[in-house]
Structure 1
Amino acid sequence: MNTLRSLTLAVSATLLGACTTLAPDYLRPDAPVASAWPGQTEAVAAPVAVADISWRDYFADARLRELIGIALENNRDLRVAALNIEKAQAQYRIQRADQFPSVALSGGQSAQRLPGDLTSSGESTISRQYSTTVGISAWELDFFGRVRSLRDQALETYLATEEARRSAQISLVAEVANAWLTLAADRELRDLARETWQTQQKSVDLTRRSFEAGAVSALDVRQAQSAMERARADAAQYASQVAKDENALAVLTGGQVPARLLPEKLIDAVTALAELPSGIPSEVLVRRPDVLQAERTLRAANANIGAARAAFFPSISLTATAGTASATLDGLFQAGSGTWTFVPQLTLPIFNAGALSASLDVAKVQREIQVAEYEKAIQSAFREVADALAERANLGEQLDARRNLVEASAESYRLSDARYRNGIDSYLVLLDAQRSRYAAEQELIAARLSEAGNRVALYKVMGGGWQ
């Protein structure tokens, strides 16, 4: 047994000292995007990386923060992503275990009866043998790094699933925030439509009394009723949309949302930060989980080339056991009952009709595919950030213009109402002013939703929200 132990230790030492892989050296592909965002003359370093800003610090409303926390706990898509990580981790542990010998203990008995015509004495005999052994079976000595390359490939696949979960979390945080904001905007639009409907009802009643008194025509009554019914239809439509928004939030959060967490109206301060730093594209994009996932997948494909190359070289495996054997059970542990076996095996591929070459070609092509996928992920991320920044550049001016339009429309409606009451303008002029005011208020709510949604989108595309 001392001889076997020494041999095993020597082989292990040789393996650890000489083992390498035949995988090509990994080089990160250059990012196929500009060094600065469109509209910037030069790249400006960001004082704080967006990826380092926790969503708890970014979103200002406590109700929204609590709702996001509930979604992260209960969302089924995120749960599947987490389970995929556990699965990939287990697969990596399985692959890593192939680097080490598998030691097994076995014991057994064999019995054989021979008839008399097969024995020298002419009498039947029964022979028994007892044995117990411990050893390793078919342990591959990874001189050319095949097992090690497969381990690296499994590790990168596992790390890619972690990045996929982080990416799923970022998307979920953004989806919950956008759904919450959309619900707030639709509730505000519903309330606006209901208020307009109530105002139009009063206007219809007043116009009908004026018609009965002979002060206005029947056309004025019909026009007032048309405006009222339009507002009524809008109120019903937005009520249905609010119900759909609440259902969407329930799916995202994994259950019915408590009423105390639902917004009553669209808030202006959706985020705790005034502005997000744009940063340098290479620094912003490379840290995005989806980009990191693509790079991990590329690393896995790179490691797979090493395994395909190693298949061309001899495969050396070792089977060795040591133990005791005896014809009687009591003699198993007596002096002189020791046994051992040592079976090294070498397999060298000679002819396989080009299968190994084809496998290597597949591995190389797969790496090129992953290079293209990585570059595509970079380009898509760059476009998303550039689009969010381009929209951000004009949202402030749009929002300010919408506020001024609401004020002007309200004043125009006030003046038109006064002129109509004094018989200067027709009811059609007043009705047009009412429509303009109603449309301006709707557009202001939509502009505020766009501005808040842009803050969420910018936070998401720059890699924030995974912490």
Structure 2
Amino acid sequence: MNGLLRKQGRRRLSTWSTSVAALSLAGCVNYAGIGSDKQIAPAAHYDTAASLPAGRGAWPAMDWATQFGDPQLPQLIDEALKDAPTIEQARSRIDKAVSMVGGARAGLPPNVSGSYEWNRQRYTLNSFYPPPYGGTWQSENTALLSASWDLDLWGKNRDRLHQAVSQKKVADAEAQLARITLAASVASTYNDLARLYALYDIQASEVQNRKDIGRITDRRVKAGLDTDVERQTSEGETATTRTNVRSLDGQIVATRYQLAALLGAGPDRGLRIARPSLETGEPITLPDNLPADLLSRRPDIVAAYWQVDADMQNVKEAKAEFFPDINLSAVAGLDAFGWGQFLTAQSGAIQFAPAIHLPIFDAGALRAQLKGRYADFDYDVASYNQTLINALSEVATQVAQIRSADSQLVEARRALTARTKAFELALVRYRAGLIAQLELLNADDNRLAAATTVATLEMSRRSMQIGLIRALGGGFDGSAIALAAPIATTTPIPATRPSQE
């Protein structure tokens, strides 16, 4: 008897499987001719040996700001990362992505729910309820336990979950990108404040220098060696230099306000920032295996990769829509008038309702949806490749600019030394009445321009160094926080679903 039952069970299962296969083959909707051959490019695809030679250097650490020797800078960065609205926005995106993962995961196991309903109603004598219920008030009690399960034979729900997980990783990487961008912005603006102070010192010193020239001119006018033209010229030069000092005062205050905004605070916070005391920082040496390792060191590249991965899952989900959905549902419970018979076996109700949904004709809706998913995939593959190109270009550009600034600084400092000596000699000769005022002022302007160039180059060089740190990922390491991806396996989307082509 048991053997007969087993044979009958196998026969029913075979019949069920055959029916499902027949429905699948009978479906008129298919995705023939829709696909993509796009793939993300490996770092080795781009030539970088000459532009980015291995330097046996280290990747930036998370506390990279400490290398500049100013204790206030790391404190400002920590303050910004704690309170800035941009960081709160990134955290909110992560929270939303986490909720999407939870929602997608909830679709995998069977869903079970319970309900109870009490209904008080007077039933009409002219309806299908006969006496003693017709014409009387009755209370109906209904308690049900429902269960449903999408068998997900084609992996649609699993693909949706994988897509949500990939989107969560995108949000994680973008949050790291926001942190690095904000930290670099604070450091760059802080360095700009140091530049303005350096220029302020030069101009403030020049005010005193022009006053000294003015006193010499006054004595020369009294001695008949100069005229009132030279006196007025000297006073005009002094006033112009004071104007430059006032202009730098305003720029310093404005930069303080910019820093306060980056910190997520009001403008008064910027007025409490002490004068920067930045040092040169560590020497520039590039890490080994830079192009390949950059893929896990740049959060924007990591985010772009996981976006492509999410698109792959979206395509797989869209392909699964072409195949039958099989859902199993069951309801069991109690339903009775009044309380007397409610908890008895005779009030029991059971329903089992398997359902199959098969797309046969949808006017091209599913094919259009799949084409759209492939278009998203192609777009994000191109975005990934462009992000990688931009990252390599950014690193190479920062390195080239730093090297150029270093060579410029050597010549600029040499020029400053020479022009300072030239001005000192001209001052002695002017005091002795051997040259005209115009020659002295010209020598002073040359010295002032040389000093400004040196200060600007020094600060710009440090700004480029901060830019290189950011270009190298700012201390981010995707492999250390489970965000790095096996990007070496860059292949087009495989045909993971049963082919209809």
For normalisation by structure 1, the TM-score amounts to: 0.86
- Over 3 Å counting, the alpha-carbon distance change for 1:306 and 1:175 in structure 2 is same
* Whole-angstrom CA distance in 2 between matches of 1:367 and 1:46: 37
2:233 corresponds, among 218, 223, 237, to 223
* Whole-angstrom CA distance in 1 between matches of 2:215 and 2:209: 10
* Whole-angstrom CA distance in 1 between matches of 2:81 and 2:196: 24
- Over 3 Å counting, the alpha-carbon distance change for 1:35 and 1:285 in structure 2 is farther
Q: What is the aligned-residue identity percentage? A: 26
Give the aligned partner of residue 263 of structure 1: 275
1:150 corresponds, among 146, 160, 181, to 160
Give the aligned partner of residue 130 of structure 1: 141
Identify the range of structure 1 (88-97 vs 413-422) with the bigger mean alpha-carbon deviation.
88-97
Q: How far did 1:220 drift?
A: 2.1
- Over 3 Å counting, the alpha-carbon distance change for 1:117 and 1:353 in structure 2 is closer
Give the aligned partner of residue 17 of structure 2: none
Give the aligned partner of residue 106 of structure 2: 97
- Over 3 Å counting, the alpha-carbon distance change for 1:342 and 1:46 in structure 2 is farther
Which secondary structure does the structure 2 equivalent of 1:92 belong to? helix
CA contact (8 A) 1:208 1:221 kept: yes
Matched, 1:34 2:46: yes
Which secondary structure does the structure 2 equivalent of 1:114 belong to? coil
1:196-252 deviation per Cα after TM superposition (whole angstroms, max 9, x unaligned): 112212322331243133232223223322321221221122111111111110110
Q: How far did 1:37 drift?
A: 4.5
Alignment of 1:133-212 (within 5 A): 133-137=144-148, 139-212=149-222
Give the aligned partner of residue 249 of structure 1: 259
Q: Structure 1: give runs of 5+ residues left out of the alignment.
A: 1-10, 12-21
Letter in 2 for 1:136: A
CA contact (8 A) 1:285 1:463 kept: no
* Whole-angstrom CA distance in 2 between matches of 1:117 and 1:373: 67
CA contact (8 A) 1:285 1:462 kept: no
Q: How far did 1:322 drift?
A: 1.9
Coordinate RMSD, CA, aligned: 2.8
* Whole-angstrom CA distance in 2 between matches of 1:242 and 1:193: 14
- Over 3 Å counting, the alpha-carbon distance change for 1:116 and 1:244 in structure 2 is closer
Matched, 1:456 2:466: yes
Give the aligned partner of residue 8 of structure 1: none
Which secondary structure does the structure 1 equivalent of 2:322 belong to? coil
Which secondary structure does the structure 2 equivalent of 1:325 belong to? strand
Give the aligned partner of residue 306 of structure 1: 316
Q: How far did 1:55 drift?
A: 3.1
Matched, 1:234 2:244: yes
* Whole-angstrom CA distance in 2 between matches of 1:387 and 1:263: 30
Letter in 1 for 2:91: A
Identify the range of structure 1 (168-177 vs 322-331) with the bigger mean alpha-carbon deviation.
322-331
- Over 3 Å counting, the alpha-carbon distance change for 1:368 and 1:298 in structure 2 is same
1:76-122 deviation per Cα after TM superposition (whole angstroms, max 9, x unaligned): 12221221111222122122212233321111234451316867669
Matched, 1:60 2:72: no
Give the aligned partner of residue 425 of structure 1: 435
CA contact (8 A) 2:330 2:350 kept: yes
- Over 3 Å counting, the alpha-carbon distance change for 1:116 and 1:434 in structure 2 is closer
Matched, 1:281 2:291: yes
Which secondary structure does the structure 1 equivalent of 2:41 belong to? coil
1:321 corresponds, among 315, 331, 343, to 331
Q: How far did 1:400 drift?
A: 2.3
* Whole-angstrom CA distance in 2 between matches of 1:187 and 1:234: 12
Which secondary structure does the structure 2 equivalent of 1:323 belong to? strand
CA contact (8 A) 1:114 1:126 kept: no
Alignment of 1:295-374 (within 5 A): 295-374=305-384
Give the aligned partner of residue 5 of structure 1: none
Give the aligned partner of residue 17 of structure 1: none
- Over 3 Å counting, the alpha-carbon distance change for 1:171 and 1:276 in structure 2 is farther
Identify the range of structure 1 (228-237 vs 124-133) with the bigger mean alpha-carbon deviation.
124-133
* Whole-angstrom CA distance in 2 between matches of 1:56 and 1:413: 39
CA contact (8 A) 1:33 1:378 kept: no
Give the aligned partner of residue 77 of structure 1: 86
For normalisation by structure 2, the TM-score amounts to: 0.81
Letter in 2 for 1:262: A
Q: Structure 2: give runs of 5+ residues left out of the alignment.
A: 1-12, 14-30, 478-501
Letter in 2 for 1:124: G
CA contact (8 A) 1:33 1:382 kept: no
Letter in 1 for 2:275: P
* Whole-angstrom CA distance in 2 between matches of 1:106 and 1:158: 34
Q: How far did 1:33 drift?
A: 5.0
- Over 3 Å counting, the alpha-carbon distance change for 1:98 and 1:149 in structure 2 is same
- Over 3 Å counting, the alpha-carbon distance change for 1:257 and 1:278 in structure 2 is farther
Q: How far did 1:397 drift?
A: 2.1
1:116-142 deviation per Cα after TM superposition (whole angstroms, max 9, x unaligned): 6867669734554322121224x4221
CA contact (8 A) 2:308 2:380 kept: yes
* Whole-angstrom CA distance in 1 between matches of 2:130 and 2:228: 131
* Whole-angstrom CA distance in 2 between matches of 1:296 and 1:116: 65
Q: How far did 1:339 drift?
A: 2.7
1:167-192 deviation per Cα after TM superposition (whole angstroms, max 9, x unaligned): 11111111100100100110121122
* Whole-angstrom CA distance in 1 between matches of 2:234 and 2:126: 120
